[in-house]
Amino acid sequence: MGRVFNFSAGPAMMPLPVLKEIQKELLDYKGSGMSVMEMSHRSKVFQQIADEAEADLRELMGIPDNYKVLFIQGGATLEFSMIPINLCKNGVFDYIVTGAWSKKAMTEAKKFGRVNVIASSEDRNYSYIPDCSDLPVDDDADYVYICENETIHGTTYQKLPNTKGKILVADQSSMFLSKPCNVSDYGLIYAGVQKNVGPAGLAIVIIREDLIKTDLPENVPIYLRYSTHSENGSMYNTPNCWAIYCCGKVFKYLKSIGGLEAMAKLNKEKAQVLYDFLDQSKMFNGTVDKEFRSLMNVPFVTASAESDAEVVAATKAAGFDNLKGHKSVGGLRASIYNAMPIEGVRALVDFLKKYEEEHGNV
């Protein structure tokens, strides 16, 4: 069997040229006589891999010098607690809850302080982004938190919230590097890399230097302090060398295709193909208010759970994998991250069109 079009929400597809390069270097990385998997993280050759990965990411996103880039294990989920632990000054945290991931992060933050939910779209099963232009931001809030692209519900912000001068913290896991980003709008950006970049098990944290506290309470574990990771170049202990290496390859690949502007253009074209189809289809309907549709995760439904399941089975048989929607939304979900080629989306739309012609009226 050849490679399928994998519409998984994560871990997800990686660019084929990157996989091929990794394959070529698998047994003997650039004459080192060993695989990156076998290499000491203290070796010169690995240090260069890590340094280049950071430099390329900085270039891609235009990360200002007063921001640190940290590679931390534990995925995006560990950041749900590291953020309130590390950014705590007054112990007041404002959350905008637009779906399952921001809700999880908010729930975790409650363990470390007083949490205000200053906006929510739960009333319509998170199918939109609330108006965030004039929110009741707490005077004492240590930060305002958003999940910028809700992976499960398929919503994204068109405009960042007005935080009224408070620090903005964003979970960008499912949209990281999908478009240009003005890093200085944020105090902290983080992403689990397995959605839009590389293999699972690594989170990238981009944090403004002055937010890295060194006077946290003594009982905060050493590993949960951003200062530990920052002071040790993300190598306090053995990092996820393999994921850093693979992500570095993806950064170089993105640079080679023209950077984030070019990527964003392609992502828009790709998503348009699918949304145009959904907008004219009688059988398949998108679940998100048009204005807030994600370019990365596209949930859609048919008239019944039964026919949803039939479509999922048919797509799988035709070589389109992982289109089953998350149980909280139901239906189908096509995750079309950076590495999904436009041909994959066109092929899926052709398949769904044909399916509708054959089954649409039953």
| Residue 101 falls in the annotated catalytic set | yes
Using CB under 6 A, which of 118, 147, 254, 260 touches ligand PLP? 147
Q: Is the peptide bond before 11 cis (omega within 30 degrees of 0)?
A: yes
The distance of closest approach from Cβ of residue 307 to ligand PLP in the complex, given in angstroms and rounded to an integer, is: 27
Catalytic residue among 195, 249, 270, 324: 195
Q: How far apart are the first and last CA of the chain?
A: 33
CB atoms within 10 A of CB 30: 10
CA distance 266 to 141: 38
What tokens were used for 16?
Answer: 């084929």
Catalytic residue among 56, 94, 171, 308: 171
CA distance 27 to 92: 50
Candidate ranges 57-65, 166-174, 177-185, 319-327; the one touching ligand PLP (CB under 6 A) = 166-174
CA distance 183 to 206: 8
Candidate ranges 17-25, 169-177, 249-257, 337-345; the one touching ligand PLP (CB under 6 A) = 169-177
CA distance 49 to 29: 11
CA distance 361 to 107: 44
The distance of closest approach from Cβ of residue 299 to ligand PLP in the complex, given in angstroms and rounded to an integer, is: 13
Region for 125 from its dihedrals, namely left if φ exceeds 0, alpha if ψ lies in -120 to 50, beta otherwise: left
Positions 283 through 342 that interact with ligand PLP (CB under 6 A): none
Query: What Rg do the C-alpha atoms of the chain give, in angstroms?
Result: 21
Q: Which residues contact 100 (CB under 8 A, 6 or more apart)?
A: 126, 150, 151, 152, 153, 326, 328
The distance of closest approach from Cβ of residue 97 to ligand PLP in the complex, given in angstroms and rounded to an integer, is: 13
Q: Is residue 199 close enough to count as binding ligand PLP by CB under 6 A?
A: no
Q: Which is nearer to ligand PLP, 110 or 282 (CB)?
A: 110
Q: Is residue 75 close enough to count as binding ligand PLP by CB under 6 A?
A: yes
Q: Give the interface size with ligand PLP as a residue count (CB under 6 A).
A: 12
Q: Is residue 154 close enough to count as binding ligand PLP by CB under 6 A?
A: no
Using CB under 6 A, which of 5, 101, 251, 355 touches ligand PLP? 101
Candidate ranges 85-93, 124-132, 171-179, 274-282; the one touching ligand PLP (CB under 6 A) = 171-179
Positions 2 through 31 that interact with ligand PLP (CB under 6 A): 10
Using CB under 6 A, which of 68, 103, 166, 195 touches ligand PLP? 195
Q: Which is nearer to ligand PLP, 86 or 194 (CB)?
A: 194
Q: Is residue 76 close enough to count as binding ligand PLP by CB under 6 A?
A: yes
Q: Closest-CB residue for ligand PLP?
A: 75
| Residue 195 falls in the annotated catalytic set | yes
Using CB under 6 A, which of 171, 274, 320, 324 touches ligand PLP? 171
Q: Is residue 53 close enough to count as binding ligand PLP by CB under 6 A?
A: no
Q: Is residue 248 close enough to count as binding ligand PLP by CB under 6 A?
A: no
Q: Is residue 173 close enough to count as binding ligand PLP by CB under 6 A?
A: yes
Catalytic residues: 101, 171, 195
Binding positions for ligand PLP, rule: CB under 6 A: 10, 75-77, 101, 147, 151, 171, 173-174, 192, 195
